Amino acid sequence: MGDCELCGKMSVNTVKARYHKSIIESCNICIQKMNLVPQRVNTRSTARSLSVKSNKLHSRKKNLSNSKTLIDNFSRIITKKRGEKDLSKLELAKIAGVRLIDIQNIESGKILEDKVVQKIEKALVVDLFTEDSPLDNRRLKKSEHSGMTLGDFLDNGG
């Protein structure tokens, strides 16, 4: 039992969930409404998990340092660059070596596999990925009154 950091409900069942780049405690209603991803619970035996954990942590750090994220306005940038180069969607698909449906989907805002996006990025000579920043794991101090919610934090100028 805990307090939901999104809606502020107190003494409810909460689950750790990823919200943007932070891990928060949230009630199941908020998780469903906001389509959040609950954190997995490791159920492996401890003897086996110790050896596996050390390998996973090492590889996870390695991937985090080299990971990149697709920028927010990628579809508009692709459409704009394609227009500047006076290319049709079919022509861009041929140049990039991808399917026409991939170009249509990415210009409508759907996120495709990184390999496809990288081919389009290379064909248009544009940067569509940005460096990832580490997760924000700040904790709020609980007061005697009701807990601070994410809304309260944002209202106070975050």
Beta strands in the chain, from DSSP E residues, in sequence order: 14-19, 22-27, 37-38, 68-70, 129-131
Structure tokens at 41: 């619970």
Same domain, 72 and 123: yes
Compute the C-alpha angle 59/16/109, nearest 5°.
Answer: 70
Predicted confidence at residue 142, as pLDDT, reads 58
Number of domain units in the chain: 2
Give the pLDDT score at 18. Answer: 80
Q: Give the pLDDT confidence score for residue 151 in this predicted structure.
A: 75
Is the domain of 73 the same as that of 115? yes
Q: 118: domain CATH number?
A: 1.10.260.40
| pLDDT score of 55 | 42
Structural domain including 107 reads: 68-131
The confidence score (pLDDT) of residue 132 equals: 65
One domain, residues 72 and 121: yes
- 47: burial class by Cβ within 10 Å (0-12, 13-18, 19+)? exposed
Please tell me whether residues 107 and 122 are part of one structural domain: yes
The verdict on residue 1 lying in a domain is no
Residue 76 confidence (pLDDT): 92
> In this structure, is residue 37 part of a structural domain?
yes
Weakly modelled stretches of the chain, pLDDT under 50? 43-65
Query: For residue 3, is it within any domain?
Result: no
User: Do residue 55 and residue 72 come from a single domain?
Assistant: no
